[in-house]
Amino acid sequence: MLCAKDTILWGIDLITISNTHSLHYIYTALSRDLGLPGIHKFTAMGMLDNRMIDYFDSENKEKVPKQTWMKDRLDPEYWVKGTQSRQSKQQWFEVNINILKDRMRQNGTDLHVLQWMHGCEGEVQPDGNMMFYRGMDRYSYDGTDFLSFDDTHSVWVTPVKAAEETKRKWDDVPVLKDYTKGYLENECMQWLNKFWSYGMTQLKTPPLGSA
């Protein structure tokens, strides 16, 4: 049976070398509600080294911790603000999946899926802190790469014609590119270091089901 995680279309290679760690957020929006148990029109989750650390969906409408140490170490205000952010992103996805359907002249009865994943990987230094290794900010539509951010050159890239209009608009907004680069290289890394320090003991144990 399908579950919420089955709507994730990317195969994600998060850990590339033994002394790197990763923090990624994955958002999945469906063009319509399927009415199936466990399948939500919108879901969002945080992933730290392949472990889910927080979760939100369009039915429960609340960002919640999925690790005990997340619940214990982060104050209630973090979850309040996180819930507000996820609700805002849900609205953004609802608007933009309709824009894409109209742009591609797709009907309203077929199912379409818009996803966004962004985050960072850090390499552990001798002092125990992590330095930026690489970032990721990319979108897919119906399982196909749609738009991604080239962090090295601070430019949006796309392999599909349908995304060229969005690429042009986003490339013309320097503040968006500066924010995206700054988030990946700085803010994301700050959270990665913090979360890793909070969950270090548990994270040294491989996730259940891993090889």
Residue 111 within a domain:
yes
Residue 185 lies in a domain: yes
| Single-letter code of the amino acid located at 125 | Q
Q: What is the pLDDT of residues 99-116, one digit of tens each?
A: 999 998 888 789 999 999
Residue 209 lies in a domain: no
- Using pLDDT thresholds of 50, 70 and 90, give the confidence band for residue 16: very low
* Domain boundaries, position 143: 4-8+16-201
The domain tally of the chain equals: 1
- Please state the pTM of the whole predicted model: 0.86
CATH number of the domain encompassing residue 77: 3.30.500.10
Tell whether 210 is covered by a domain: no
- In tens, the pLDDT along 90-101 reads 999 999 999 999
The pLDDT > 70 percentage for the chain reads 86
Instruction: Give the pLDDT score at 50.
Output: 87
Residue 50 in any domain: the answer is yes
The answer to the question of residue 160 being in a domain is: yes
For 127-174, write each residue's pLDDT tens digit.
878 899 999 999 999 999 999 999 999 999 999 999 999 999 999 999
Task: Kindly state whether residue 123 falls inside one of the protein's structural domains.
Answer: yes
